[in-house]
Amino acid sequence: MAVVLCHGHCVGCGRLFSFSPSRVPSVRIGHAREPICQACVDRVNPTRIAGGLAPIVPLPGAYEADDESELELDR
């Protein structure tokens, strides 16, 4: 069994963090989706709620490794 763990910079704070490529919450910037860390999710959710938007709710395992069999790969 193999696992996949991505590392990238958060679109909110720029901090390097680890995440599941298929579960991490992301923000669309132009045509690309950029990952957002848990700290930034926690920071932005009160503003989203106050503005009438739904909070960002990360999927379970969003900041953990994925089993490679769970990935959807473009083939």
C-alpha neighbours within 13 Å on the C-beta side of residue 54: 3
**Helical segments of 1-75, H only:** 38-50
Confidence of residue 75 (pLDDT cuts 50, 70, 90): very low
Q: Domain boundaries in the chain?
A: 10-67
Instruction: Report pTM.
Output: 0.84
Could you tell me if 15 and 37 are in contact, meaning their C-beta atoms sit under 8 angstroms apart? yes
* Segment 16-72, tens digit of pLDDT: 999 999 899 999 999 999 999 999 999 999 999 999 999 999 999 999 998 877 766
